[in-house]
């Protein structure tokens, strides 16, 4: 039979030591920082280029149908939404460093952040896909009158088929996975929150 | 920059071992503990300028380590408790001696505690003053003393049960 003091003596005997060196930490920071910035900048830049391209088509092409303009406006709005969400997420992560807060406050921040990400990845993503689909559909109406029938049928069928596959297959799988992940994460965070509650 | 690196090195040498104990106690896995240690000190490096005015720098480092460990929970859950035990055995069995066996058992017992209990008890065993543990964990000192008493009892019971097996 051992008492707690004996356990502390055992603990003090341990030779376990980190294999990480302080120089590794510094070099990892430098690598992480640049790769993170490159990824963020590339995604935002690509979306911005798409935005400019669509704006160019919008102003330079003389469409006969108002639906084409409306379609392009909706697609532009989707691009803006993507860029804004990117910036908001990055700013949230950068500005709210709750690692220095009490564990309970940190857990609550993580809960809040995860909830907002969950809504972005499920509800907002659904609206985003529907809006994008609606934008393209409106844009293609004019093509119906300009292109020959065969080309038009191939184009419309391919677009609709792709939209349906995205909505009913990929998005369903994605959302289901997100929901499961979120439920597990929330349960973990709730448990931790309870553990760090001050009972006085 | 050189001065910053020098300050960081001093902070790292003074605190890394204890922070590693905390991470190892929390995860029960050597690789994961090293990852968490690295992540903690990455944050320290990033915020070194803010730290310079803090009297108790170790408190803030511990705070970061605790919060980093807590958000690591997801990855930790992928491993079953039995696997954790196996990991600990594999990691420590290089030098098989009675002492090593006891340390291995102790880590096995810590792995069976709740998350906050693992964190608190590793700080207690590394002899951090109670007010500092209270500050790090965000729990009032009175409440903490009660918790520590309970955890000590639980850990001792677990250890003695293991030894009887």
Q: Is the pLDDT of residue A70 over 90?
A: yes
Contact (Cβ atoms closer than 8 angstroms) between residue B84 and residue B104: no
**What torsion do the CA atoms of A46, A50, A53, A57 make, to the nearest 10 degrees?**
170
pTM recorded for the entire structure? 0.74
Cβ-in-10-Å burial (0-12, 13-18, 19+) of A62 comes to exposed
Contact (Cβ atoms closer than 8 angstroms) between residue B28 and residue B120: no
- Cα separation, A155 vs A160, in Å, equals 9
Longest dimension (CA), chain A: 90
Ranked by mean pLDDT, which of A23-37, A102-116, B68-82 comes out on top? A102-116
Q: Which residues does chain A have within 8 Å of residue B5's beta carbon, measured at their own beta carbons?
A: 26
Q: Look at residue A9 and tell me if it is in a domain.
A: no
Q: Look at residue A12 and tell me if it is in a domain.
A: no
* Among A73-77, B33-37, B56-60, B107-111, the least confident range: B56-60
Q: Between chains, do A10 and B20 touch, taking CB under 8 Å as contact? A: no
pLDDT reported for residue A92: 72
B32 at interface of A, judged by CB pairs closer than 8 A = no
Beta strand extents in A36-107 (DSSP E only): none
Number of domains in chain A: 1
pLDDT reported for residue A34: 59
ipTM over 0.90: no
SS3 A64: coil
- pLDDT digits 0-9 by tens, A113-170: 788 878 887 888 888 888 988 898 888 888 878 878 888 888 878 878 887 887 788 8
* Among A68-82, B22-36, B93-107, the least confident range: B93-107
Cβ-in-10-Å burial (0-12, 13-18, 19+) of B124 comes to buried
Q: Which residues does chain A have within 8 Å of residue B128's beta carbon, measured at their own beta carbons?
A: none
Show the domain range for B95: 2-164
Q: Which two tokens stand for residue A142?
A: 């004019």
Q: Look at residue A14 and tell me if it is in a domain.
A: no
Q: Look at residue A1 and tell me if it is in a domain.
A: no
Question: pLDDT averaged over chain A?
Answer: 83
Q: Look at residue A122 and tell me if it is in a domain.
A: yes
- When pLDDT is cut at 50, 70 and 90, the band that residue B83 belongs to is very low
Contact (Cβ atoms closer than 8 angstroms) between residue A159 and residue A132: no
Cβ under 8 Å to B: A residues 176-195: 184-185, 188, 191-192, 195
Mean pLDDT of B103-119: 91
Mean pLDDT of A23-37: 70
- Cα separation, B84 vs B149, in Å, equals 26
Cβ under 8 Å to B: A residues 9-48: 10-20, 22, 24-26, 28-29, 32
Q: Between chains, do A188 and B20 touch, taking CB under 8 Å as contact? A: no
Contact (Cβ atoms closer than 8 angstroms) between residue A114 and residue A184: no
Q: Look at residue A93 and tell me if it is in a domain.
A: yes
pLDDT reported for residue A8: 92
Q: Look at residue A148 and tell me if it is in a domain.
A: yes
Show the domain range for A143: 19-195
The phi and psi torsions of A122 (rounded to 5 degrees) equal -115, -80
Q: Is the pLDDT of residue B93 over 70?
A: no
Number of domains in chain B: 1
Q: Look at residue A126 and tell me if it is in a domain.
A: yes
* Among A4-8, A153-157, B105-109, the least confident range: A153-157
User: Of A2, A26, A199, which has the smallest distance from its Cβ to B143's Cβ?
Assistant: A199
């Amino acid at each position: 039979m051992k008492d707690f003091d004996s356990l502390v003596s055992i603990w003090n005997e341990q030779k376990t030591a980190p294999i990480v060196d302080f120089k590794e930490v510094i070099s990892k920071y430098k690598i992480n920082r640049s790769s993170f910035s490159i990824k963020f900048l590339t995604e935002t830049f690509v979306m911005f280029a798409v935005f400019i391209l669509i704006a160019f088509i919008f102003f330079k092409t003389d469409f006969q149908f108002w639906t084409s303009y409306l379609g392009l406006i909706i697609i532009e709005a989707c691009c803006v939404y993507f860029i804004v969400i990117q910036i908001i997420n990055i700013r949230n992560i950068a500005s709210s460093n709750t690692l220095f807060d009490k564990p309970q406050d940190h857990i609550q921040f993580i809960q809040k952040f995860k909830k907002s990400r969950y809504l972005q990845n499920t509800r907002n993503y659904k609206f985003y896909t529907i809006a994008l689909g609606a934008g393209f559909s409106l844009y293609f109406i004019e093509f119906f009158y300009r292109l020959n029938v065969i080309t038009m049928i191939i184009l419309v069928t391919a677009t609709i088929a792709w939209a349906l596959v995205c909505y009913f297959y990929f998005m369903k799988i994605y959302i289901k996975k997100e929901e499961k992940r979120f439920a597990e994460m929330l349960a973990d965070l709730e448990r931790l929150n309870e553990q760090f509650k001050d009972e006085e | 920059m050189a001065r910053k690196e020098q300050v960081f090195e001093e902070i790292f040498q003074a605190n890394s071992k204890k922070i590693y104990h905390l991470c190892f106690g929390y995860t029960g896995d050597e690789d994961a503990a090293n990852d968490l240690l690295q992540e903690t000190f990455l944050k320290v490096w990033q915020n070194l300028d803010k730290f310079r005015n803090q009297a108790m720098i170790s408190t803030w480092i511990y705070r970061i380590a605790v919060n980093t460990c807590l958000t690591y929970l997801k990855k930790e859950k992928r491993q079953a408790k039995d696997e954790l035990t196996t990991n600990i055995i594999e990691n420590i069995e290089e030098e098989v001696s009675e002492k090593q066996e006891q340390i291995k058992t102790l880590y096995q017992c810590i792995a069976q505690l709740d998350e906050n209990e693992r964190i608190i008890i590793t700080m207690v065993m590394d002899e951090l003053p109670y007010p500092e543990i209270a500050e790090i964990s965000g729990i009032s000192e009175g409440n903490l003393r009660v918790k520590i008493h309970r955890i000590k009892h639980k850990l001792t019971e677990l250890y003695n049960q293991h030894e009887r097996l």
